[in-house]
Amino acid sequence: MSDCLFCKIIAGEIPSSKVYEDDQYFAFNDINPQAPTHFLVVAKKHIDKVSSMNEGDRALIGGLFDVAARICREKSVTDYRLVINNGEGVGQTVFHIHLHVLAGRSMNWPPG
Ligand code: 5GP
Ligand code: ZN
């Protein structure tokens, strides 16, 4: 999608601190980290939010978790929080599905 920030990051049109890339996925450090480790995992396919994905996207979106777990394993990070915001009302600001991976500090539950 031409006006999507994360599509531009995936395409390399906007620079990012890349953590991982393969043919379907891209991961990069969050520009405004909320924990010592805070990166985002996205599928290269543009889907704006979880509530608009369809059955055909299940495996692709499920794979975000696999990529996150693989990166964390490589970094020897064992405990981490995975977050996907769906909708402006809960804080989604970029409308290209992304999995937040946060680690390296203690965290409260429930989240704010
Ligand atoms: P959301 O609030 O949509 O769940 O998360 C969007 C995330 O994208 C935020 O944590 C924000 O800091 C991050 N972000 C916004 N713009 C950029 C950018 O240009 N580069 C990077 N690396 N992260 C960004
Ligand atoms: Zn996009």
Would you write out the chain's pLDDT as a tens digit for each of its 112 residues?
679 999 999 999 999 999 999 999 999 999 999 999 999 999 999 999 999 999 999 999 999 999 999 999 999 999 999 999 999 999 999 999 999 999 999 999 999 8
| pTM for the model | 0.98
Could you tell me the two tokens for 23? 């043919």
Q: What per-residue confidence (pLDDT) applies to 57?
A: 97
Best of 6, 93, 101 for a ligand 1 pocket test (most atoms within 8 Å of beta carbon): 93
Q: What per-residue confidence (pLDDT) applies to 2?
A: 79
C-alpha 16 – ligand 2 centre gap (Å): 15
Q: What per-residue confidence (pLDDT) applies to 112?
A: 83
Establish whether 46 is a catalytic residue: no
CA dihedral 13, 15, 19, 23 (to 10 degrees): 10
- Give which of 85, 66, 79, 81 is closest to 27, Cα–Cα: 66
Kindly report the protein residue whose alpha carbon is nearest to atom 12 of ligand 1: 32
**Running DSSP on this structure, what letter comes out for residue 48?**
-
Nearest listed ligand to the Cα of residue 42: 2
C-alpha 42 – ligand 2 centre gap (Å): 9
